[in-house]
Amino acid sequence: MSEPSTGAGGAGGAGEAGLVGDPYAWLPASIVSSVAQTPGARSLTFAVPGLRPARAGQHVDLRLTADDGYTAVRSYSLSDVRASAVPAVPAVPAVPAASDGVGGAEGVGGAGGAGPVPQIEVTVERLDDGEVSPYLVDAAEPGDPIEVRGPIGGWFVWPPTEFEPDSAVHAVLPEPPGATPLRDVPVQLIAGGSGLAPLMAMVRVRGRDAPPMRLLASVRDPGARWYVGELDEAVRASSARAVGVSAAEVSGVGVPAAGVSAVGVSAVGVSAAGVSAAEVSAVGVSAADGRTGGLTVDWVYSRVAPDGHGRPAGRLTRDELESLVLPAAEHPLVYVCGANSFVEAVAGWLIELGHAPTRVRTERFGGV
């Protein structure tokens, strides 16, 4: 791929590509690091001088330019935005990262190389007939140039955008009567396959005082799980905080810490109290009913389930969904991301189960 040009403008025109904060400008970027999630999926971190701070749930457009001038553009959800909020610097042509591919935010470009540069992560799944994903998953290396436009999106984000009570948004999408304000409500995340990417960004930005968050992820088989080690650790740490013990006491060996036995700490996926149809994540740690301010992760498998998993492989059903998500009575804010058919089915079931349409936010990919 050839070096991107600072003159490659977006909707704002060629001369505006270097403007900090212009969401429609193409910004030169470079790959900082890449980490395999599965044999067919990879997380790539980009250093993007001039990038606006991104929000969990947003996406970016990536543009690749071949040596002959041919370009290809694809949109990808952001899977990590935490390093995007650094002091902005003007965009300059991307420069190669360190040869070992481990370089951080500093020293990867910027105004004269000074100061940190915003970084973002996307996670890409290879499509065998794809034009861009095979390159990003199989061939891209640290230092490779790319162009980025964005971040884009303001509805499918968490923490959520809050609109004025008299805004047109509330007129069209009224809030449930008596419901808790958006920023304080529990959060339900539902992912189908690679739809986990933007939801992982939401998990990563949650702070210690965040409302309860529950993630339901549907994948083909155990080998198709993304971020599994990080999610396991996040659940352990969250459970430890909920019962007032250290994360070290809720260790990866599956030995219950004092006061944790009621919620179950297991390395074999024993269901936690209150979770019936499918088991909690690989470590099986959960707040007792998902409503104590912690993080709960539930995996369901459509084709092959791991040994010891209490639920046989098969597609998610409406009844299972009801038992694995926060109840409608709590007015949770629900984010659903996945293929069209998955999102259509899940969103419909949620509405049937009493969830307010205004609190079910969806993002989908794939053909109709």
d(CA 288, CA 114): 48
| Residue 175 pLDDT | 74
Q: Are both 189 and 56 inside the same structural domain? A: no
Q: Is residue 95 part of a domain?
A: yes
DSSP character at residue 173: S
C-alpha closest to that of 50 among 6, 104, 91, 79 = 91
DSSP character at residue 72: E
Q: What are phi and psi of 108, to 5 degrees?
A: -115, 45
Please name the helix (run of DSSP H) or strand (run of DSSP E) that holds residue 202, with its range, or none.
helix 196-205
Q: Is residue 308 part of a domain?
A: yes
Domain end call among 152, 184, 200: 152
Q: Are both 289 and 219 inside the same structural domain? A: yes
DSSP character at residue 109: S
Question: Rounded mean pLDDT of 50-63?
Answer: 97
Q: Is residue 7 part of a domain?
A: no
Q: What are phi and psi of 222, to 5 degrees?
A: -60, -30
The mean-pLDDT minimum among 68-82, 167-181, 188-202, 271-285 falls in 271-285
| Residue 250 pLDDT | 45
Question: Rounded mean pLDDT of 295-300?
Answer: 97
Q: Are both 190 and 54 inside the same structural domain? A: no
Question: Rounded mean pLDDT of 329-354?
Answer: 97
Q: CATH number, domain at 318?
A: 3.40.50.80
Q: What is the pLDDT of the chain when averaged over all its residues?
A: 79
Q: Are both 73 and 213 inside the same structural domain? A: no
| Residue 238 pLDDT | 87
Question: Rounded mean pLDDT of 162-168?
Answer: 72
The mean-pLDDT minimum among 79-93, 215-229, 238-252, 291-305 falls in 238-252
41-47 and 27-38 as β-strands: parallel, antiparallel, unpaired? antiparallel
Q: Is residue 113 part of a domain?
A: yes
d(CA 282, CA 366): 29
Instruction: Examine the pLDDT at 264 and tell me if it is beyond 60.
Output: no
C-alpha closest to that of 350 among 338, 366, 362 = 362
| Residue 163 pLDDT | 72
Q: Are both 128 and 182 inside the same structural domain? A: no
d(CA 218, CA 341): 13
Close Cβ partners of 248 (under 8 Å, ≥ 6 residues apart): none
pLDDT category, 260, cuts 50, 70, 90?
very low
Most confident of 191-200, 251-260, 273-282: 191-200
Q: Are both 88 and 229 inside the same structural domain? A: no
Domain end call among 152, 178, 194: 152
Q: Are both 130 and 250 inside the same structural domain? A: no
Q: Is residue 2 part of a domain?
A: no
Question: Rounded mean pLDDT of 99-125?
Answer: 64
pLDDT category, 167, cuts 50, 70, 90?
confident
Q: How many residues does the chain have?
A: 368
Number of structural domains found in the chain: 2
Close Cβ partners of 177 (under 8 Å, ≥ 6 residues apart): none
d(CA 280, CA 275): 7
Between 210 and 343, the higher pLDDT residue? 343
> Residue 83's domain spans which residues?
14-152
Question: Rounded mean pLDDT of 288-307?
Answer: 80
pLDDT category, 1, cuts 50, 70, 90?
low
| Residue 367 pLDDT | 53
| Residue 168 pLDDT | 74
The DSSP bridge partners found for residue 33 are 45
CB 201 within 8 A of CB 57: yes
Instruction: Examine the pLDDT at 97 and tell me if it is beyond 60.
Output: no
Most confident of 17-31, 165-179, 182-196: 182-196
Count of CB atoms within 10 A of residue 297's CB? 25
Which pair of tokens denotes residue 18? 């270097």
Q: CATH number, domain at 66?
A: 2.40.30.10
Q: Is residue 8 part of a domain?
A: no
d(CA 249, CA 216): 25
Q: Are both 290 and 251 inside the same structural domain? A: yes
Which pair of tokens denotes residue 157? 């984000």
Q: Are both 208 and 238 inside the same structural domain? A: yes
Between 121 and 108, the higher pLDDT residue? 121
Question: Rounded mean pLDDT of 104-121?
Answer: 63
Residue with tokens 């998953």: 137
The DSSP bridge partners found for residue 35 are 43
Residue with tokens 């994948």: 219
Per-residue b/e over 107-122, b at no fewer than 16 CB within 10 Å?
Answer: bbbbeeeeebbbbbbb
C-alpha closest to that of 77 among 11, 142, 158, 9 = 158
Q: Are both 103 and 218 inside the same structural domain? A: no
Query: Which three-class secondary structure state does DSSP give residue 347?
Result: helix
d(CA 331, CA 354): 9
Residue with tokens 């944790």: 260
Q: Are both 323 and 175 inside the same structural domain? A: yes
CB 286 within 8 A of CB 296: yes
Q: Are both 65 and 132 inside the same structural domain? A: yes
Q: Is residue 50 part of a domain?
A: yes
d(CA 235, CA 229): 10
Between 290 and 163, the higher pLDDT residue? 163
Q: Is residue 163 part of a domain?
A: no
Instruction: Examine the pLDDT at 66 and tell me if it is beyond 60.
Output: yes
